Structure 1
Amino acid sequence: MSLTARILLLLALLLAALPSAQAGVANAPGANLEVSLITYGPGETYWERFGHDAIELRDSVGGEAINFNYGVFDFDERGFLFNFARGRMHYLMDAAPTEMDQRYYVESGRSVTRQSLALTAEQASALRDFLLWNLRPENVRYDYDYYADNCTTRVRDALNRALGGILQKQLEARSGGMTYRQQTARLMSAQPWLMLILDLGLGPYADQPLNAWQESFLPMVLEHELAHTQVSDGQGGMRPLAQDGQLISPNRLAVPPDQAPDLRLPLALAGLVFAALLVLAARFWPIGLALLGSAYLIAAGIVGVLLLVLWTLTTHHSAWANANLLLFNPLAFALLPTLWRTRRGMAASRWADKIIVLQLLALVVAVLLHLLPGVVQQNQPWLLFALPCWLALSWSLRRGLRKLYT
């Protein structure tokens, strides 16, 4: 754990140990606790693009306000990068005075919004006790998952626990607006290369229809859904759980688009351009065909290896069973010798012809998957890119093979 995290954790533990005679969040009666959701807008760094949030507990009598959040990680943790690659990241819960916690976000230009939540005294007290229990050293760590168990789902679950499950019940009854893939592309669109890499690596899990409970893995979605949640007013009626958000600090950064970019046309055009270059090189520039073809085959092989590793050796379930393996796979490496032998007029083994046919069959399967009912993964952009590239490369190689065999 980093020094800063240790200091903040120690501070929170000291708060929990304060004597009852001293006013504060840790010992205030539930009737004096004001509960709010603090939502921070997206930042500029890639791990900040999804935004962040925290639960604020404020003692209305003593004035103390503490932010509880689940978004602390430590680059210096032993094996952090290896665990990150395996999908076994360890995150920490943290607590800090509200003003201290918000200072970074205000200074970096990210929006800060407060939503007051209408919890009863008993619910506020139960939430406080749970958060302090969760802050203990033996409970503070958790295994992070991008979509199913992150800093926002932990906040959501803590609120749902205090509310007796009513939040989950209402949110599961509403349909979500986007899929995991669409939300990821939308929020990462400011960094196109990273957006494309993530989209390429996401499997069918990322395309499942979501309800509002699942889509509340995002802070901005949770903020929106809380504003449309109803709770009992104690008199037989219902009232809104959350008031309209109070803007504490405005956003000064570029705002993510409302919708995910459509990658089909850009990648289709890129595939057609690359295919045209391969065909022209096959006719007029043999060394150019070898260079361009090698670049594609090496890239396809590397992508295939990485997709296989993500599926078989990691817990990144959002990358499992990725149909892009039909388009990019390690078999591409086997065609590299054939590509260079045809350039130099050397005989190529006939099994290379079988590999080409096998890859073309894989393309047919990839196309058919989108015609069958029940297919989830939306990888049309990569299919539109890979299809002309493989057709052009296969034509160029088989054209060379025919010349050698005749």
Structure 2
Amino acid sequence: MRPFRLLLPLLALFLLTAVPAHADVADAPGANLQVSLITYGPGATYWERFGHDALQLRDTVSGQTINFNYGVFDFNEKNFFINFARGRMHYLMDAEYAGPEEAFYVQEGRSIVRQRLALTPKQASALRDFLLWNLRPENAGYNYDYYIDNCTTRVRDALNRALGGVIETTLTARPGGMTYRQQTDRLMSAQPWLMLVLDLGLGPYADQPLNAWKESFLPMVLQANLRSIRVDDGHGGTRPLVESEHQLAPNHIAVPPAHAPDLRLPLAAAGLLLAALILAAARRWRTGFALLGSLYLILAGLVGLLLLALWTLTTHHAAWANANLLLFNPLALLLLPALWRSRRYVAPSRLANAVLLIQLLAMLTAVVLHLLPGTVQQNQPWILFAMPVWLALAWGLRQSTLVRPRLELRR
């Protein structure tokens, strides 16, 4: 993905008005078109971590080479960040001469791999015509979705269309290697805080089993999957879709790990440590107990509000019906007054006791739901983090009820 460039309308105008007297990609016969998939490695910025790709068309006679991609957005677009938050991201298709396009990624230190594809002249011509149609200003825009409609799924779908559906037919029959959540955690692991925020915000949609077709929402997964695709050779047999593969530029940015990190142990350790601090403060320093508890309750309440907003106010369907709402929810904010009164060992009010009971029951529900067969959402790390903290807070508040009568008797 790259920020918006002004080249789009200029190049579109040039390609669409090309004349046969000067052959180029726009009017070359299909026999003269060479089709390749260009895959760019992940970048350093968070929106570049998924990588990028483009369809390259080369006229073998004139030498003109154009890269078509679907990953252009404009930070200066009206209400860009509001639309982004609501899940209404507007992206554009773009086209650029291969030289400047690839030079940009070399400068960024990102790898470039070119796979030359075995399309027939008819298929190459049909792909070119579709891409030029898609490049028109009235067709170039689309509503972006990180998992089901992004710059790679658009490239995948354009290729699949030109090949008569063979890519979808082949890859749908194969299981994928990871879920959306696992791929997201793996690719964002270089930025741990962002990885944790995304993992916390993803609901059961992100844990559904994927086939190879769906998992090809990522450039490097599509690149790998195309190596196994075979197409009709025109003589009653088949041949590999990928005729050749070459690395045009090496990678100078840290490569994402092959597998998603296991978050259970670090989050469980963090939860136990926080719970231990809360318990120690509850016994020896009640103001510290209130401070630590308040920090957790405020974070839990704000996270709950965010998760609720993602579910009810946005089109981010990957965040809907998030079971983490049972662990972090806005009701936590109602416990703040009781927590501060507990410094003087004042027993919680009926409202606070009711809220605490609801929260403990919600936490138990989250555990039971996770243990049930067929449960989709994999939120064990967050259960392991939240459970000891909630139990420690409940014990600390309970101490207010037990200790205050003893203090009054001593008086």
User: Equivalent residue of 2:9, what SS?
Assistant: helix
Aligned to 1:314: 314
Aligned to 1:138: 138
Cα offset for 1:317?
0.2
Matches within 5 A, 1:69-148: 69-148=69-148
Partners in 2 of 1:7 and 1:210 — Cα distance? 36
Give CA-to-partner distance per residue, 1:100-121, whole Å, 9 cap, x none: 1111100111000000000000
Cα offset for 1:405?
6.7
Partners in 2 of 1:209 and 1:9 — Cα distance? 40
Q: Which amino acid letter does the alignment assign opposite residue 78 of structure 1?
A: K
Q: Is the 8 A contact 1:227 1:243 kept in 2?
A: no
**1:373 maps onto 2:373 in alignment:** yes
Partners in 2 of 1:237 and 1:148 — Cα distance? 33
Deviates more, 1:8-17 or 1:302-311: 8-17
Aligned to 2:283: 283
Aligned to 1:330: 330
Q: Is the 8 A contact 1:49 1:188 kept in 2?
A: yes
User: Equivalent residue of 1:5, what SS?
Assistant: coil
Give CA-to-partner distance per residue, 1:140-196, whole Å, 9 cap, x none: 000000000000000000000101111110010111000000000000000000000
Matches within 5 A, 1:265-304: 265-304=265-304
Q: Is the 8 A contact 1:229 1:241 kept in 2?
A: yes
Matches within 5 A, 1:248-263: 248-263=248-263
Partners in 2 of 1:283 and 1:305 — Cα distance? 31
User: Equivalent residue of 1:273, what SS?
Assistant: helix
Q: Which amino acid letter does the alignment assign opposite residue 261 of structure 1?
A: P
User: Equivalent residue of 1:243, what SS?
Assistant: strand
Aligned to 1:191: 191
Give CA-to-partner distance per residue, 1:108-137, whole Å, 9 cap, x none: 110000000000000000000000000001
Q: Is the 8 A contact 2:25 2:59 kept in 1?
A: yes
Distance 1:3 1:362, change over 3 A: closer
Cα offset for 1:30?
0.3
Partners in 1 of 2:55 and 2:106 — Cα distance? 17
Give CA-to-partner distance per residue, 1:30-51, whole Å, 9 cap, x none: 0000000000000100000000
Aligned to 1:340: 340
Give the total of aligned pairs: 405
**1:238 maps onto 2:238 in alignment:** yes
Q: Which amino acid letter does the alignment assign opposite residue 181 of structure 1?
A: R
Distance 1:177 1:392, change over 3 A: same
Q: Is the 8 A contact 2:7 2:96 kept in 1?
A: no
Partners in 2 of 1:307 and 1:4 — Cα distance? 30
Aligned to 2:27: 27
Cα offset for 1:401?
2.7
Q: Is the 8 A contact 1:171 1:211 kept in 2?
A: yes
Distance 1:4 1:330, change over 3 A: closer
Q: Which amino acid letter does the alignment assign opposite residue 73 of structure 1?
A: F
Aligned to 2:16: 16
Give CA-to-partner distance per residue, 1:346-397, whole Å, 9 cap, x none: 4541221111111111111111112212110000000000000000011101
User: Equivalent residue of 2:243, what SS?
Assistant: coil
Q: Is the 8 A contact 1:205 1:319 kept in 2?
A: yes
Give CA-to-partner distance per residue, 1:322-355, whole Å, 9 cap, x none: 0000000001000000000111344541221111
Q: Which amino acid letter does the alignment assign opposite residue 352 of structure 1?
A: A
Percentage of identical aligned residues: 68
User: Equivalent residue of 1:221, what SS?
Assistant: helix
Partners in 1 of 2:226 and 2:247 — Cα distance? 16
Partners in 2 of 1:243 and 1:371 — Cα distance? 48
User: Equivalent residue of 1:370, what SS?
Assistant: helix
Q: Is the 8 A contact 1:290 1:339 kept in 2?
A: yes
Distance 1:304 1:4, change over 3 A: closer
Aligned to 1:49: 49
Cα offset for 1:271?
0.4
Q: Is the 8 A contact 2:4 2:72 kept in 1?
A: no
Q: Is the 8 A contact 1:227 1:244 kept in 2?
A: no
Cα offset for 1:252?
1.0
Q: Is the 8 A contact 1:282 1:396 kept in 2?
A: yes
Partners in 2 of 1:129 and 1:244 — Cα distance? 24
TM-score (norm 1): 0.98
Distance 1:140 1:377, change over 3 A: same
Partners in 2 of 1:148 and 1:71 — Cα distance? 14
Cα offset for 1:404?
4.4
Runs of 4+ in 1 over 6 A off after TM superposition: none
Question: Root-mean-square deviation (CA), in Å?
Answer: 1.3
Aligned to 1:224: 224
Q: Which runs of 5+ in 2 are unaligned?
A: 407-411
Partners in 2 of 1:3 and 1:399 — Cα distance? 56
Q: Which amino acid letter does the alignment assign opposite residue 401 of structure 1?
A: T
